[in-house]
Amino acid sequence: MIRFIDIYKSYDNGTKALKGISMRIDDGEFVFLVGPSGSGKSTIIKLITAEAAPTEGRLMVNGYNLNTIRPRQVPYMRRTMGVIFQDFRLIEKKSIYENLVFAMRAVGASPKEIRTRIAYVLELVGLSTKAERRPDELSGGEQQRVAIARALVNNPSVIIADEPTGNLDPQRSMEIMMLLEKINELGTTVLVVTHEKELVDRFAKRVVAIENGRIISDGVGGYYDNETF
Amino acid sequence: MRRFNNLGYFFLEGFRSIFTHGLMSFAAVCMIVCCLLIMGSFSLVAVNLDEMLGDFEKQNEFLAYIDESWSDEQARALQSQIEAIPNVSTVQFMSRAEAMEEFAAKQEETELFDSLPDTVLRDRYRIHVENLDQLKQTVAQVEAVDGVVKTSAAFEVAEGFTVVRNIASAVALILVGILLLVSLFIITNTIKLATFNRREEIAIMKMCGATNGFVRWPFVFEGMILGLTGSLAAYFIQWGVYVLIGRAINTSDTMQLITMLPFEQMATQVLGVFLGTGFVIGVGGSLMAIRKFLQV
């Protein structure tokens, strides 16, 4: 569960990125976080992943109080989530399999766990036959699937996808969204940050709209009406 | 068990990473070799200089003259008393006759002294000291021995040696210290460059939930391997260069005064210092380089 209670975030340069955000994302939910550039979407992601700390307010993520979390606890908190980026962030010199091993090794998984889990997630994202390829040998959509597999490989309770379809064509974007929906159906909470209106409209999911550091709407499907997004 | 598995993993990752980023690794090893060679060469020059000064020091001696009224036996009996004085390394008794013989041998016209009786000169002791710094105290202690009436010591020469040795030691210490700092700075920056190329990997690891220790260890092993490889390479190059220079000096007509210690005599110490320095600058450089990238 992710819970924002009256969160404010100001940066050192004086920018007020968030101005009193309150929201709750329950376990198993699928949520779109939408808004124009500079609205505060990225700051919300940074707060959830503990890359930044809130200036005011209370923030709970998967049972961790991020207001009081100690630096040494942050890695363990991050193990409860998987993060997907717009630019995939795969290690080019490693094969797909090695990219996934890398993520599992980082949390101290045993070789046996690694073999079993990677086979499962590669099957889930449809890349079982391409495990030995390197990222530059795959299409953009396939690379994003690898990124999803990497986010999933440590069995997180939440997947956070930051503009996951930003670099993909509509067809591949739809495939990625369907894959995320499938993951959600398997019980993982999914938070997708996007500004692609068409994509959001095609999925009848909860949409939290943010603008100028404030939530301006929060509801299912129809709340995403603002043309500025 | 898992920690043990991880140790093997860290080592392997560090080892692999050296080859994955081959050019940067090569640059880092070259820097370590260069820095150690400069530092090592200077240190060896300082050690040899110190040794040469030591040799000169050993040749420095003073004489203690025995009361004329004392018999030869009485004078000889003082030897153990003088030997017991701290800082005295060797004591050599010279009878009046031997002193006259030595004196006469230094003169051009020896026949002039043939008619002089052996008793003209006094019995004496030729005394070598261990530490020239304490020559004055030692001379004073010898003069305090009953039967010793006079001493002759070249205090100015001794002080000169002490000053030269102190200056040489201070200069060597300062230069080696500066070179060490410069080496650490260069190595840190070289490894920082290598680490900069991998900031994305570090960010991914951190985002996956890797602890700082987990991220840091492969870099520590990598730095350690690079440091030790560089120091081993520098050691063998240093050895070769030293032997070559030694041969050149030995065969030179103009540098006969210079004597060089055999490398084998210092090999263990040089290897220890090189490995220690390589380890410290490799591991230290890695730790300093990676610190910035861990704050994700």
ipTM (interface predicted TM):
0.84
For residue B4, pLDDT beyond 60: no
User: Rounded to whole angstroms, how far apart are CA atoms B286 and B227?
Assistant: 10
For residue B1, pLDDT over 80 is answered with no
Residues 6+ apart with CB under 8 A from B48: B258, B259, B260, B261
Closest CA to B234 of B183, B200, B284, B192: B183
| Nearest Cβ partner for A154 among B201, B208, B214 | B208
**How far apart, in whole angstroms, are the C-alpha atoms of residue A103 and residue B204?**
8
CA geometry: angle B189, B190, B192, nearest 5 deg = 60
Q: What pTM, to 2 d.p., does this model score?
A: 0.68
CB nearest B209 (choices: A51, A89, A154): A154
Chain B residues near residue A108 by CB distance under 8 angstroms? 2, 6, 214
Work out the mean pLDDT of chain A and round it to a whole number: 91
Q: Chain B contact for A169, CB < 8 A?
A: no
Q: Could you read off the pLDDT of A138-168 as tens digits, one per residue? A: 999 999 999 999 999 999 999 999 999 888 8
Q: Do B5 and A83 touch (CB under 8 A)?
A: no
DSSP B120: G
* B155 C-beta neighbours (distance < 10 Å), count: 12
- State the DSSP code for A219: E
Q: What is the pLDDT of residue A77?
A: 95
Query: Quick one: how far is CA A73 from the chain centroid?
Result: 20
A69 vs A167, residue with greater confidence: A69
More confident residue, A57 or B171: A57
Q: Do B2 and A89 touch (CB under 8 A)?
A: no
Residue A21 to residue A6: CA distance in whole angstroms: 5
Q: Does A106 touch chain B (CB under 8 A)?
A: yes
Tokens standing for residue B107:
């003169």
Token pair belonging to B115? 């008619």
Say which residues have a Cβ less than 8 Å from residue B172's Cβ, sequence separation at least 6: B42, B43, B46
A107/B6 CB distance under 8 A? no
Q: How far apart are CA B262 and CA B269, in angstroms?
A: 13
Tokens 């006759």, located at residue? B97
CB contact set of A70 (below 8 Å; sequence gap of 6+): none
What value does the CA radius of gyration of chain A take, rounded to a whole number of Å? 17
Contacts of A79 in chain B (CB under 8 A): 208-209
Long-range CB contact pairs, A135-138, < 8 A, 24+? A135/A88, A135/A90, A135/A91, A135/A92, A135/A96, A135/A99, A136/A92, A138/A96
Q: Quick check: A75 and B6 CB within 8 A?
A: no
Which of B7, B201, B207 to mutate to probe the A interface, most A CBs <10 Å? B207
What is the identity of the amino acid at B77? Answer: A
Determine the average pLDDT of the residues in B150-163. Answer: 76
Opening angle at CA A185, ends A179 and A187, nearest 5: 115
Whole-number pLDDT of residue B34: 87
Q: Is A157 on the interface with B (CB under 8 A)?
A: no
Write out chain B residues lying below 8 Å of A111, CB-based: 5
Q: How confident is the model at residue B188 (pLDDT cuts 50, 70, 90)?
A: confident
Mean pLDDT confidence for A23-39: 93
> Please, which pLDDT band fits residue A127 given cuts at 50, 70 and 90?
very high
Instruction: Give the burial class of A197: count Cβ atoms within 10 A of its Cβ; 0-12 exposed, 13-18 middle, 19 or more buried.
Output: middle
List the single residue in B with minimal CA-CA distance to A50: B296
